[in-house]
Structure 1
Amino acid sequence: MWQRITIVGNLGSDPEMRYTPSGVPVTSFSVAVNRKVKLQDGSVQEKTTWFRVTAWRQLAETCSQYLSKGRMVLIEGEVEVSAYAAQDGTPRASLELTARDVRFLGGRSDAPAPGVASGAPAGAYNAAAPRSAPRPAASGAPSNFGPPPPELHDEEIPF
């Protein structure tokens, strides 16, 4: 069996990086996914779904370094749902997403991470893929994620 989920949303908190007892880096953060729902009376209501995201190893280090609260991201991974009772006894659920691929969306000025040099790229990191330059979009193909990132020089690439 196989499952994969893709979400696009904004970070609700700054990433928190820690290490397992064996020294493996793990970073956690929350992501809010907003959608608009048209009600029967014709009005539009915005609904927000929160995901708790966990990234491991090199992806954890990259997320911790370049992400900050408010930054827009696209995340692919596996999701687990946990049911629990809140302190007041009401039933609740939690969506836990283990990230396999994180793409940083928006420009550098959208939500700069504190302490990150202005040369930090707006781009993507895939834990399973080798590090390489991003492929240019096909000529004339529309981009759904905004303008392409600015041209980078070797000294600006953090890898």
Structure 2
Amino acid sequence: MLYVHTIGHIGKDSRVIAGTHGSFLAMDIAVDDYSKGQSVATWVRVRSNKEGHIRLSEYLTKGRLVLVEGTLSYSLWEDKNGDSQVQLSITADSIAFVNSGKRNATGNDADEEPVKAAGNTPVPPADTPQDDADDLPF
């Protein structure tokens, strides 16, 4: 058994599915991995039958950043081209919202898009410490 902790963005609004053994929460999250300067998203299916998670379903909406802890499993399937694919799934023990940064007056994350100066060079936020050339360790 693999017990994992992962952070990802919800791909579509979560849904509650009523089954023969009770209701459960279902959602898919995109977990970003950075390799060789490129971002690659791995999709992970998340399921939970915990009552607390089912009650949170209305807040688990597309784009929200969440931390999921639970047991990882996988299944193999073939796509329409006949290629083998792997579906990763987590049976969640814990789901938590992750704060993605400070909110500004418009309700958007302040860190999402830095203001650009002339020449399209990002301007760091005012509270970002600047490097002092005399204080560098090299």
Count of residues in correspondence between the two structures:
104
Q: Provide TM-score, normalisation by structure 2.
A: 0.68
The reply on whether 1:66 has 2:48 as its aligned counterpart is no
Which residues of structure 2 form unaligned runs of 5+?
110-138
Cα drift, residue 110 of structure 1: 6.5
Partner of 1:21: 20
Residues 14 and 5 (structure 1), Cα distance of their counterparts in 2 relative to 1, 3 Å cut? same
Aligned-pair identity in percent equals 27
In 1, Cα distance between equivalents of 2:108 and 2:50: 26
Partner of 2:85: 92
Q: Provide TM-score, normalisation by structure 1.
A: 0.59
CA RMSD of aligned residues (A): 2.1
Cα drift, residue 13 of structure 1: 0.8
In 1, Cα distance between equivalents of 2:63 and 2:51: 22
Deviations 1:43-62 (A, max 9, x none): x1111111000011313323
Counterpart secondary structure, 1:88: coil
Structure number with bigger Rg: 2
Cα drift, residue 93 of structure 1: 0.6
Structure 1 segments of 4+ aligned residues over 3 angstroms from their partners: 107-111
Q: 1:79 aligns with which of 72, 75, 79?
A: 72
In 2, Cα distance between equivalents of 1:76 and 1:110: 27
